[in-house]
C-alpha cells in the first residue's frame, strides 16, 4: 500500500471510529442519526446445509423436525410446547473418524418439550424421519423457561385482585409497572407437582433502569401452565420505591461530561484484513489453530475439535474435543420471603444462548470482527435466527509474547521482543439484570485463556434507609438511597473434554510438598518438591483448591512422549477460585452440588453434558455432576472430561450503581511438555514498515 493511500485509509478509519457513538437497545443495534455502521452482509440461512457433523441444525432441519413431530402418534391430538431443538451430536468416534468429503453420520435432533405438565425428551432421526427415542420425566425438573413462559407469567399478576389493590395502595400506575418471573428453585416436596415461577415487579417511571426501582416485598407464585396466582405475599409495604434519579445508564441520557481527560480515538487497523478465516460457516483457522465454533441455545457458544499445529513438523494435533459453559449458579444471601428462592441456574433455567442478544459493533466487538448467528426454535417448533450473537476478532493490547535483553554485564547487545496477538471468540448473555461476557482466547504459544466478565445491573433490595445503618443486620451494603446490594455468588462450571494427542488421557495432581533439608546438607532449611500422583478413579480427581497445599493439575497422554520422555499434556491454571460456602444440605446447594469442588474429572459419557442435569428447572439435584461422579469410575488412561468451576463472591458497593463496571476472571489451559520447545521462538517481530500509521493533522 502506498503511503498516501495508507494515510487516507487510516484517516477515514480513525474518523469513523471517532464519530460513531450509539445508543443501543436490547432488541436492535442503531447508530446515531446520520451515520451507518459497516457490518458483514447478513447470511441467508434458509438454504443452508451442514458441512461438518457438529454443525448446528439448519433452518431446513428444524422445519423437518417439526414435521416429524407433527405426525408422531403420541402428539397427534396436541402438539407439545417446544423448549429446545438442538443437534443430537453423533457418537464421538464417528466425529473423530470423519474427514471432509466423507458421508455424514446420521443427522439427529434432541427435543425437549412439555405436554400436559410432563417433560418429554425425544431423539429424532432426520434421515429416516422418525422418532428413535422418547423418555417422559427421565429425572426431576423441567426444561428451561421459554420466552412464552416468561411473557405469560409477567402478565399474570395484573388479573389478581390482591395485586392490583397493593399496587394502587403504593401509588404506582399500572402503565409504569414491569413484572418479571425469576425461577423458583426447589425447596422440598411441597413445591413439587407444578411448574411454578415467582413474579416480582418494578417501576419504570422516568427511567428504563427499572431494576433500580423494585417494589420490595411483593412476590407472587404463579403456575406456569394455568397462569393462576397460587400465592400472594406482601411484606414490604412500608418500604419506599427508590427514586429514578441517576439510574438511566444510556449515553444519550447523560447530562454531565465525565470528570476525566478525554480519550483520543483508538483502533486496531488491519489494511490487509484479519488473519483468521471462517470456512463452511463454522471452521475457524488462525495462525496455528483450527477449531469448530457454533452457537448453542443453552451454553451460548461451543468450541469443538480444537487442534494446534506442531511447532516442528506443522502437523495438526488434538487438544480438546469440546469445551463450553455447562452451568451458571447464582445464589443470593437473603432469607426474606421475597428473596430466599433467588438461587438461579442461568444456563439450565434460561439459556445463555437464548439470552444472547445482538453484539454491539465497535463496543462489544472491535472493527474487523466476524459475526455468527444462532438458529434456534420457537415454542411451536419453527426456526428463528438469533443474529450476531458470537463475534470473532484478533486482539492486540500491547502485551508481550516473549522478550529478553542483554548488554548490562556481557558483550551481547540484544533486544528481542515479540508482540502478543490473540484470537478471541466472544458471546454475551443478558440474563435478566446481569450481563455475562464469555471469551475463549487463543494464543500462538498454544495457550487457551477462558474468561468470564460480569456486568449489567445488580439485583437490589428496597430499603427504608438513606444512609447506611448497622450493616451487619442487612443482607448487603447500601449502594444508593433506599437500595441494598444483596451479597451473592457466581459460579460457572465448564465442561472441558480434553483430548491431548488423542482421546485416552490421564489426570495428574502435581503436588508441591515442603521438605526439610538434612543437617549440614545446605544453608537452606526447607525447599519444595513436585510429587506426581495419577488419579485412578473419579474420587481421586475431586479437587478443592487450597492456598497452602498447592498443586498443578495436568491432563496428559501417557502414550505420547516428547523427545525427553515427558508425557505430552496441558494443565489447567485456576483463576476465580471463590468456593461455595453453603451447607451441602441447603436446597440450592443440593441442586448445584457440582460447585462442591472446583475440579472434577469424569469418564466421557455423551449423556453427561450439563453439570446441573438435563432438566434443570425445579430439579432436586438427582442428575448432576456430583451424582455421576459418586460412581467413582476408572479414569486412568481413559477418554475423560475435565470440569472446572470459576467462582466469584460479590459484595456490592456504590460503584456498582446504576450499572456495574465489568469484573473479569478466568482460567487457562496451558501446554505442558506438549511442544519440544517454545513454539513461538521463530515468530517474527513487528516492524514499522508493516504497520499503517494514523496521524492527526497537528502531528503530520
Decide the pairing of beta strands 483-485 and 460-462.
antiparallel
Query: Who's near 28: CB < 8 A, 6+ residues apart?
Result: 358
Question: How far is residue 110's CA from residue 113's CA, in Å, rounded to a whole number?
Answer: 10
Q: Which residue has the cell 425438573?
A: 141
**How many CB atoms lie under 10 A from the CB of residue 604?**
18
Give the contacts of 580 (CB within 8 A, at least 6 positions apart): 329, 331, 489, 491, 589, 592, 595, 596, 647
Dihedral angle of Cα 334, 589, 341, 244, to the nearest 10 degrees: 50
Please confirm, yes or no, whether 489 is among the known catalytic residues: no
The rounded Cα 495 to chain-centroid distance in angstroms is 11
Q: How far apart are CA 269 and CA 6, in angstroms?
A: 10
> Among the options 149, 248, 334, 346, which is catalytic?
346
Beta pairing class for 130-136 and 448-456: unpaired
C-alpha cell at 422: 490473540
Q: What's the grid cell of residue 582?
A: 453453603
- HSE toward the beta carbon, residue 244, CA cutoff 13 A: 12
User: Taking the C-alpha atoms of 346, 349, 353 and 355 in order, what is their torsion angle to the nearest 10 degrees?
Assistant: -70
> How does 551-580 read in b/e, with b if 16+ C-beta sit within 10 Å?
bbbbbbbbebeeeeeebbbbbbebbbebbb
3-state SS, 64-102, equals HHHHHHHCCHHHCCCCCEEEEEEECCCCHHHHHHCCCCC
Rounded Cα gap, residues 275 and 675, in angstroms: 23
Query: How far apart, in whole angstroms, are the C-alpha atoms of residue 306 and residue 279?
Result: 15
Phi, psi of 518 (to 5 degrees): -75, 155
Question: Could you tell me which of 158, 108, 154, 116 has the C-alpha nearest to residue 137?
Answer: 116
State the DSSP code for 253. Answer: G
What's 622's DSSP letter? S
Q: Is 636 helix (H, G, I), strand (E, B) or coil?
A: coil
Q: For 548-637, where are the E strands, in sequence order?
A: 551-561, 567-573, 599-603
Whole-Å CA distances, 642 to 137, 194, 198, 272? 28, 35, 35, 39
Q: Which stretch of DSSP H or E encloses residue 151?
A: helix 147-155
- Burial status of residue 473 (CB atoms within 10 A of its CB: 0-12, 13-18, 19 or more): exposed
- In 3D space, the residue among 429, 403, 425, 424 whose CA is nearest the CA of residue 415 turns out to be 403
Three-state secondary structure call for residue 382: coil
Dihedral sign (CA 626, 630, 636, 639): negative
Contacts of 98 (CB under 8 A, 6+ apart): 52, 53, 104, 105
| Known catalytic residue at 639 | no
Considering 434, 570, 617, 644, which one is annotated as catalytic? 434
Are 482 and 306 in contact by the 8 Å Cβ rule? The answer is no
Residue positions annotated with a catalytic role: 346, 434
Amino acid at each position: 500500500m502506498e503511503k498516501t493511500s495508507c494515510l487516507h485509509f487510516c484517516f477515514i478509519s480513525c474518523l469513523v471510529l471517532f464519530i460513531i457513538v450509539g445508543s443501543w437497545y436490547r432488541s436492535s443495534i442503531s447508530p446515531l442519526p446520520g451515520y451507518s455502521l459497516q457490518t458483514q452482509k447478513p447470511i441467508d440461512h434458509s438454504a443452508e446445509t451442514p458441512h461438518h457433523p457438529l454443525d448446528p441444525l439448519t433452518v431446513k432441519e428444524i422445519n423437518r423436525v417439526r414435521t416429524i413431530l407433527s405426525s408422531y402418534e403420541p402428539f397427534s391430538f396436541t402438539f407439545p410446547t417446544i423448549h429446545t431443538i438442538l443437534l443430537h451430536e453423533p457418537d464421538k468416534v464417528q466425529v473423530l473418524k470423519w474427514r471432509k468429503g466423507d458421508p455424514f453420520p446420521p443427522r439427529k435432533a434432541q427435543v425437549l418439550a412439555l405436554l400436559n405438565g410432563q417433560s418429554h425428551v425425544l431423539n429424532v432421526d432426520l434421515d429416516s424421519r422418525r422418532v428413535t427415542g422418547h423418555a417422559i420425566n427421565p429425572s426431576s425438573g423441567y426444561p428451561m423457561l421459554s420466552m412464552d413462559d416468561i411473557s405469560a407469567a409477567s402478565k399474570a399478576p395484573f388479573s389478581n385482585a390482591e395485586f392490583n389493590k397493593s399496587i394502587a395502595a403504593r401509588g404506582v400506575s399500572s402503565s409504569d409497572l414491569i413484572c418479571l418471573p425469576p425461577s423458583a428453585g426447589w425447596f422440598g416436596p411441597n413445591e413439587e407437582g407444578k411448574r411454578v415461577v415467582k413474579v416480582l415487579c418494578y417501576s419504570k417511571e422516568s427511567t428504563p433502569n427499572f431494576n433500580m426501582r423494585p417494589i420490595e416485598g411483593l412476590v407472587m407464585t404463579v403456575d406456569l401452565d394455568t397462569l393462576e396466582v397460587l400465592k400472594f405475599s406482601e411484606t414490604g409495604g412500608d418500604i419506599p420505591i427508590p427514586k429514578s434519579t441517576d439510574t438511566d445508564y444510556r449515553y444519550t441520557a447523560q447530562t454531565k461530561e465525565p470528570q476525566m481527560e478525554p480519550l483520543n480515538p483508538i483502533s486496531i487497523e488491519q489494511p490487509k484484513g484479519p488473519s483468521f478465516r471462517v470456512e463452511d460457516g463454522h471452521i475457524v483457522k488462525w495462525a496455528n489453530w483450527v477449531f469448530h465454533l457454533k452457537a448453542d441455545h443453552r451454553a451460548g457458544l461451543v468450541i469443538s475439535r480444537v487442534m494446534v499445529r506442531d511447532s516442528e513438523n506443522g502437523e495438526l494435533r488434538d487438544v480438546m474435543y469440546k469445551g463450553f459453559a455447562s452451568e451458571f449458579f447464582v445464589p443470593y444471601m437473603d432469607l426474606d420471603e421475597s428473596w430466599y428462592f433467588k438461587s438461579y441456574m442461568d444456563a439450565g433455567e434460561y439459556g445463555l444462548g437464548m439470552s444472547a442478544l445482538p453484539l454491539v459493533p465497535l463496543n462489544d466487538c472491535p472493527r474487523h470482527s466476524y459475526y455468527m448467528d444462532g438458529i434456534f426454535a420457537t415454542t411451536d417448533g419453527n426456526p428463528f435466527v438469533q443474529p450476531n450473537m458470537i463475534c470473532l476478532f484478533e486482539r492486540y493490547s500491547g502485551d508481550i509474547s516473549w522478550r529478553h535483553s542483554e548488554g548490562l554485564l556481557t558483550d551481547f547487545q540484544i533486544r528481542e521482543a515479540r508482540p502478543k496477538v490473540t484470537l478471541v471468540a466472544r458471546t454475551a448473555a443478558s440474563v435478566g439484570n446481569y450481563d455475562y461476557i464469555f471469551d475463549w482466547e487463543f494464543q500462538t504459544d498454544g495457550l487457551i485463556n477462558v474468561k468470564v466478565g460480569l456486568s449489567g445491573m445488580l439485583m437490589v433490595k428496597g430499603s427504608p434507609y438513606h444512609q447506611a445503618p448497622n450493616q451487619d443486620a442487612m443482607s448487603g451494603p447500601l449502594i444508593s438511597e433506599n437500595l441494598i446490594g444483596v451479597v451473592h455468588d457466581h459460579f460457572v462450571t465448564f465442561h472441558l473434554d480434553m483430548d491431548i494427542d488423542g482421546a485416552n488421557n490421564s489426570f495428574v495432581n502435581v503436588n508441591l510438598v515442603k521438605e526439610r533439608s538434612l543437617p549440614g546438607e545446605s544453608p537452606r532449611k526447607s525447599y519444595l518438591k513436585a510429587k506426581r500422583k495419577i488419579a485412578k478413579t473419579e474420587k481421586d480427581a475431586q479437587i478443592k483448591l487450597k492456598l497452602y497445599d498447592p498443586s498443578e493439575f495436568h491432563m496428559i497422554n501417557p502414550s505420547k512422549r516428547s523427545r525427553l520422555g515427558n508425557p505430552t499434556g496441558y494443565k489447567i491454571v485456576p483463576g476465580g477460585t471463590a468456593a461455595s460456602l453453603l451447607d451441602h444440605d441447603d436446597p440450592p446447594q443440593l441442586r448445584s452440588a457440582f460447585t462442591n469442588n472446583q475440579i472434577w474429572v469424569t469418564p466421557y459419557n455423551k449423556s453427561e453434558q450439563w453439570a446441573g442435569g438435563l432438566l434443570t428447572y425445579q430439579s432436586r439435584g438427582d442428575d448432576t455432576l456430583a451424582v455421576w461422579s459418586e460412581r467413582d469410575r476408572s479414569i486412568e488412561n481413559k477418554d475423560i472430561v475435565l470440569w472446572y468451576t470459576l467462582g466469584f463472591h460479590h459484595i456490592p458497593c456504590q460503584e456498582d450503581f446504576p450499572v456495574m463496571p465489568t469484573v473479569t476472571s478466568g482460567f487457562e489451559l496451558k501446554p505442558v511438555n506438549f511442544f519440544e520447545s517454545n513454539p513461538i521462538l521463530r515468530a517474527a517481530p513487528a516492524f514499522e514498515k508493516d504497520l499503517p500509521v494514523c496521524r492527526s493533522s497537528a502531528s503530520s
